[in-house]
């Protein structure tokens, strides 16, 4: 690994002490980071990976090109507000947007379990087609593999995406500066709770729907308005807390947030209490944070609030130099606490 | 679907008559094509997909960019001559090369089954790192998901790849012309037999090793020498036969091949006889066919034979106008037969 790249995610147990992969290695918390930092990054040492961002940005002729991938293994495949197909398109589109890129092209790789109903496959593919049209991207190449019954779980979908970077500066954790405000695009926790409510058989007066959506249009509007965006991060696996901690650690800055500024719907908060979850760690699929210099905050907020996917946008905190690498939160009664990444497994197979 | 695009793969049973996905839908034969033609293509109608090629080619500023993806589900994960990691890098690198593109960047998506040994994961990732270095590509972005024990099979790997097109003309089935020669880069059947020999416990004097390798360097040498390449296709799932039939059907031309010109090693032929396989349909991971106008054949052959991955290159046949859409083969005793795609499942989970 390049010794100049930050690599100080706190890892209580070195990876060599685990003999085998656990569900928590895929949960987006500490164990996922340990796997990335101690196994993947040393093997593939390059500048793009060293950015520790949602995607890679590379020079390509006169353009900068963003490239990203995610596999989707969500269970159940169909859930209120979307399905694995909607997720596979919007998740990758959003990762490109988080690199400051306008999403252009997607690939799709399907791993289908023998016996999966053709009608369900058709429904997933139709969702992908619809989501791609809505996000303004073309699905241009794909692959299908079938595995034996009992060696999969219905269908897994991988998408990779290519976008062209719109921002004239680097959008990455390293660009975050003391004094930046942290903007959150809306209420949190709906995707994770929509999934868990189905799995646990929870009943609500009206179903909690996933927030799954492409935020690329909203993000591009920030660039078109000339807002000086320093960093963007969507709040998927590991939720708001993990996104903040990752950025604070990589950028070696302190992020202070106010709990009262973070919107959580009452039904989502209620479900979190029943299920024993902290909404800060629950996955979202249509929410993001933006690090923006104080002088651009009013314009950015006005612009986000005028967009249907940002109408609940708010400033939730700000960046300072010290204590570097930490995220702290002040509660409604004024108490402070350190926000850490989650250690174990909170929500397996949420995306 | 665009009515102008060719769509005449012979499909004996319409997809709606299957209620669920079968292993053969992933085998690279007729059922795979049926799934693509009748389910995926109508949902994602665009010019790139309509090319029916190993990857998509899109304009990007002053460059043409190639983009492709494959998921790898091979079993066993480790086999003579490679493993799922070698395959995941070389397979996608080769698909880019088949588009006439110099491979530049790869993504990697891992779907790991809970309980998979960390040491095996490390071995797979090390193979990917080595193969990427050998092929001259950078793995710049990735993703890891973990699924419950019993919902996967050790590890599945998806790679997507980006390359920059070197050819100054379109390399695609539609570019094939009557009079073109069909060049095969070497002997066939080794990858599939290497895998099946392990699965079936066959013992040979010396193990048959997979031919898994990046052919990008060899292909780029053809372009650098100014050879007028019309179409390229690697001979993975479905083998040489399926590659020829796909191109003949899409290009609406006739391909005539001579059986005696197609090299099969004695041990591979022997294993095929024991296992009941036709080497024409067995998967390769380092072999390709090239359609080249007669005037460039001698130069192309000399150039390929000077490369370690093409030292067995040969002209195996030629293209004529009629009967359009058909592949025929003349045997060593002069008998002719029509080569068709395979209908059922010959070699599941070979790549």
Q: Judge: B118–A22 Cβ closer than 8 Å, yes or no.
A: no
Tell whether A82 and A217 lie within a shared domain. no
Q: Give the C-alpha separation, B208 to B127, whole Å.
A: 19
H/E stretch holding A248 reads helix A239-251
Residue ending a domain, choose from A165, A200, A224: A165
Q: Give the C-alpha separation, A122 to A154, whole Å.
A: 13
Tell whether B197 and B122 lie within a shared domain. no
Residue B16: band (very low, low, confident or very high) from pLDDT cuts 50, 70, 90: low
Tell whether A149 and A225 lie within a shared domain. no
B69 vs A19, A23, A160: nearest CB: A160
pLDDT for residue A341: 86
Nearest CA in chain A to B154: A151
Q: Judge: B146–A348 Cβ closer than 8 Å, yes or no.
A: yes
Tell whether A161 and A287 lie within a shared domain. no
Tell whether A83 and A223 lie within a shared domain. no
Give the DSSP letter of residue B17.
G
- What is the ipTM metric for this complex? 0.93
pLDDT for residue B5: 35
Residue ending a domain, choose from A165, A184, A202: A165
pLDDT for residue B29: 81
Tell whether A143 and A185 lie within a shared domain. no
B137 in any annotated domain: yes
Q: Judge: B138–A114 Cβ closer than 8 Å, yes or no.
A: no
Per-residue pLDDT of chain A (351 residues; tens, 9 = 90+): 333 333 334 445 666 678 999 998 988 888 888 888 899 999 988 888 877 777 999 988 888 999 999 999 999 999 999 999 999 999 999 999 999 999 999 999 999 999 999 999 999 999 999 999 999 999 999 999 999 999 999 999 999 999 999 988 899 999 999 999 999 999 999 999 999 999 988 887 788 999 999 999 999 999 999 999 999 999 998 999 999 999 999 999 999 999 999 999 999 999 999 999 999 999 999 999 999 999 999 999 999 999 999 999 999 999 999 999 999 999 989 899 999 987 766 678 989
Residue ending a domain, choose from A165, A188, A220: A165
Tell whether A147 and A262 lie within a shared domain. no
Tell whether B103 and B230 lie within a shared domain. no
Comparison of pLDDT for B124 and A14, the residue scoring more = B124
How does strand B327-330 pair with strand B336-339? Answer: antiparallel
B75 in any annotated domain: yes
Residue B107: band (very low, low, confident or very high) from pLDDT cuts 50, 70, 90: very high
Helices assigned H by DSSP within chain B: 30-35, 41-43, 47-50, 84-98, 118-135, 190-200, 216-224, 239-251, 266-275, 297-305
Q: Judge: A25–B158 Cβ closer than 8 Å, yes or no.
A: no
B298-325 burial, b at 16+ Cβ within 10 Å, e below that, comes to eebbebbeebebbeebbbbbbbeeeeeb
Apex A258 CA angle, A257 and A263, nearest 5: 110
CATH code at position A316: 3.90.650.10
CATH code at position A156: 3.30.1330.10
What residues of B are in contact with residue A16 (Cβ under 8 Å)?
A: 118
Expressed as residue numbers, the domain containing A122 is 62-165
Give the mean pLDDT of B268-294. 96
Give the mean pLDDT of B168-197. 95
What residues of A are in contact with residue B69 (Cβ under 8 Å)?
A: 107-109, 141-143, 158, 160
- Cβ of residue B139 closer than 8 Å to a chain A Cβ: yes
Tell whether A74 and A198 lie within a shared domain. no
pLDDT for residue A13: 61
The sign of the CA dihedral B139, B143, B147, B149 is: positive
- pTM comes to 0.93
Number of folded domains that form chain B: 2
B133 in any annotated domain: yes
Q: Which of residues 147-186 of B touch A (CB under 8 A)?
A: 147-148, 150-153, 156, 158, 160, 162, 164
Comparison of pLDDT for B336 and B47, the residue scoring more = B336
B12 in any annotated domain: no
pLDDT for residue B15: 64
The sign of the CA dihedral B117, B120, B122, B128 is: negative
């Amino acid at each position: 690994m390049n010794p100049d790249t930050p690599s100080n995610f706190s890892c209580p147990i070195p990876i060599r002490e685990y003999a085998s992969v656990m569900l928590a290695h895929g949960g987006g918390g500490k164990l996922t980071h340990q796997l990335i930092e101690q196994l993947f990054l040393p093997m593939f040492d390059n500048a793009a990976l060293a950015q520790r961002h949602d995607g890679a940005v590379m020079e390509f002729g006169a353009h900068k090109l963003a490239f990203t991938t995610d596999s989707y293994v969500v269970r159940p495949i169909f859930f209120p507000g979307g399905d694995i197909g909607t997720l596979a398109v919007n998740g990758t589109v959003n990762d490109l947007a988080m690199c400051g890129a306008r999403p252009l092209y997607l690939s799709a790789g399907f791993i289908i379990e023998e016996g999966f109903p053709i009608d369900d496959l058709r429904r997933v593919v139709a969702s992908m087609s619809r989501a791609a049209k809505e996000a303004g991207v073309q699905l241009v190449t794909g692959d299908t593999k079938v595995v034996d019954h009992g060696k999969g779980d219905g269908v897994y979908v991988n998408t990779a995406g290519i976008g062209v970077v719109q921002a004239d500066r680097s959008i990455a954790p390293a660009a975050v500066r003391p004094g930046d405000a942290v903007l959150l695009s809306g209420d949190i926790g709906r995707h994770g709770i929509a999934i868990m409510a189905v799995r646990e058989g929870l009943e609500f007066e009206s179903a909690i729907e996933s927030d799954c959506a492409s935020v690329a249009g909203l993000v591009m509007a920030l660039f078109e308005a000339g807002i000086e965006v320093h960093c963007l991060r969507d709040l998927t696996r590991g939720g708001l807390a993990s996104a903040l901690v990752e950025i604070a650690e990589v950028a070696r800055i302190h992020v202070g947030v106010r709990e009262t500024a973070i919107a959580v719907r009452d039904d989502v908060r209620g479900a979190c209490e029943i299920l024993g979850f902290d909404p800060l760690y629950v996955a979202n699929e249509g929410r993001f944070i933006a690090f923006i210099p104080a002088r651009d905050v009013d314009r950015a907020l006005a612009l986000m609030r005028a967009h249907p996917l940002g109408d609940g946008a708010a400033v939730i905190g700000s960046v300072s130099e010290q204590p570097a690498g930490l995220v702290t939160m002040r509660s409604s009664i004024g108490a402070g606490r350190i926000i850490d990444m989650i250690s174990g497994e909170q929500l397996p197979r949420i995306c």
